[in-house]
Amino acid sequence: MFKGNLNPTQIITDLGLYFGIKIAVENTLIFFDEIQTVPEALTSLKYFFEQMPELHLIAANSLLGVCVGKSSSFPVGKVNLKTLYPLSFKEYLIANNEQLLVESLVKKENFDAITSLIHEKLQNYLKRFLFLGGMPEVVQNYLDKEDIASARAIQLEIVAAYQRDFSKYTNKNQIIKTASVWDAIPYQLAKENKKFTYTTVKKNTRASYYEASIFWLKNAGLIHLAYNISIPKLPLGGYANNEKFKIYSLDTGLLGAMLGVSSAIITNPTQLFTEYNGAFIENFVATELIKSSTQKLFYWTSKSDAEVDFVLQIKDIIIPLEVKSGLSKNLKSIRSYASKYKPKFICRASPRNFYQDNDFINIPLYALFICKRLLGNN
């Protein structure tokens, strides 16, 4: 249908004839799924925009970042681009019919502690979310069946599907390299020092050997990178070291599946938070920040051993955010940062309740989706 002159009227007519449905343009939604498999269909969006603007048309495709421009022209300026991430924790709560919990957090205007029973309820939801993750099919399956084993099976299928995609969209010479980087990510995060090192993937190797694979995985939306900064000044990207970074998985559920984490861990009060040196928690924070419109992630290290997990730009101020997977009150690194740069706030994301003491703020992990708003308004 897309091999001709890409006339929208003809394409709609052909679609109607093929499916045996009369398509009324003004009240029909056309959905082109996996549009990257037909490059001409991607090009056709330009003509739909120009010649049939009254039509409701959605195009979805996986790995857009590594497909556009290879064999077709992308209709720049004719398409509104949206990135669809796995469910955030906020969306997970809504999927569980907990709109009231979400509304109570959205309306929050300060850092006063919430009722302990409500705090524990949110913590329990968070523990399950860390295991399930936010892939829609996984979440829906669990809501329907309440079967952890069934959810894990779907997670493993998704991981396998991504691995198959490497061969579909990656240059043959890069397939093995890309798969090696992908397989190494969970074990990089499980280390005490979560900075990505190429030698963990393969001994005695250089950065240039895997750079293309990391670039591919990032553009495919399968990983998030957090870049190191040694001087927290605006714009943060101008002071980032692009050769020093951490790699995070797009989803904690898939991360757990790749690590083989047992579902029994959900029933343990603290084990999931601390397992693998807090890998799930730091990864969870990274994905929540990305989903709440943080375009790029940064972390800070000093010349000594001090490290702050994330450095946020909120309006025109810079705020350090330390991630604690347990109930530890150790703030040595973030205090070191504060003594040097005197930020307005120093923040900790942890399993603890809301708390503020002068410039120090604790934000519960489940409330990260309101973090930037609260900090920006106080």
Q: What is the mean pLDDT of each run of 10 residues along the chain (378 residues)?
A: 91 94 92 88 92 93 60 74 92 98 96 97 94 96 95 96 82 85 87 79 77 88 93 92 93 92 72 72 95 90 86 93 78 89 94 94 96 90
Q: Tell me, what amino acid is at 103?
A: E
Cα angle, residue 181 at apex, residues 65 and 135 outer, rounded to 5°: 60
Return the pLDDT at 343: 94
DSSP line for 122-169: HHHHHHHHHHH-S-HHHHHHHHHH--HHHHHHHHHHHHHHHHHHHHHH
Pair 134, 91: CB distance under 8 Å: yes
Pick the closest to residue 253 from 87, 21, 111, 61 (CA basis): 87
Cβ neighbours of residue 354 closer than 8 Å, sequence gap 6 or more: 108, 111, 112, 113, 114, 362, 363, 364, 367
In this predicted structure, what is the pLDDT of residue 64? 54
At 55 the pLDDT is 94
Contacts of residues 304-307 at CB distance under 8 Å and 24 or more positions apart, as own/partner, are 304/336, 306/332, 306/333, 306/336, 306/337, 307/333
Question: Distance (Å, rounded) from C-alpha 168 to C-alpha 99?
Answer: 40
* Per-residue pLDDT, 254: 95
Residue 201 near residue 180, CB atoms below 8 Å: yes
pLDDT of residue 19: 93
Q: Where are the domains of the chain?
A: 8-67, 124-377
- Closest among 308, 287, 288 to 299, alpha carbons compared: 308
Name the pTM for this structure. 0.89
The angle subtended at Cα 346 by Cα 327 and Cα 287, nearest 5°, is 70
Distances (CA, A) of 52 to 25, 28, 56, 78, 84: 8, 12, 9, 12, 25
State how far the Cα of 4 lies from the Cα of 343, in Å rounded to an integer. Answer: 60
Single out the residue of 83, 101, 81, 80 nearest to residue 92, CA to CA.
101
